[in-house]
Amino acid sequence: MSTSKSLVSLGSCVFVALTAALPFSAQAQGNPSQLGIPEETTFAIITRMSDTVAARISASSCDDTRNLLKAMRKSKGGKTSELSLEGQLLASAQTQPKLKQVVANRVGTALALKLMDCNMMNPDTLGALFDQR
């Protein structure tokens, strides 16, 4: 896969995963059951999506990760009516602590490890957080 295609693929996955962290209207933050999806199914879908995103982040190159982070800084959250079903499910994780924890644990861990591997987050930066008084 070419670098640009892998970046687009990675970017799409991370956008979907991070949708849960972006502010949306109350409609998107509702209960997934409003979409007609049982809670157990929603949990399974969110888990699989988060694992897929985490795997793609882990497999991405440092340059792809840097470019993705730059693109994410420039992007703005879309309207809930523009979100895919997957995006709506992930957006609902904002109000569902159990779902939010799944996304944060899987995607957050992979992203933090990639940032450390690529020297985009170093021990000095993290150490400064402990020294704050």
Q: What is the pLDDT along the chain (133 residues), one digit of tens a residue?
A: 444 444 444 544 554 444 434 443 333 445 555 667 788 888 898 999 899 989 999 999 999 999 988 887 887 665 656 677 777 777 777 778 888 999 999 999 999 999 989 988 877 777 777 776 6
Query: What helix, strand, coil percent values describe the chain, rounded to 5?
Result: 75, 0, 25
Residue in the structure block whose two tokens are 């892998």: 6
Residue 3: count of CB within 10 angstroms of its CB: 12
* Counted domains in the chain: 1
Domain that holds residue 97: 3-131
Residue 80: count of CB within 10 angstroms of its CB: 17
- Measure the CA–CA gap between 50 and 108, rounded to whole angstroms: 9
Statement: the pTM of the whole predicted model exceeds 0.75: no
Residue in the structure block whose two tokens are 């969110």: 46
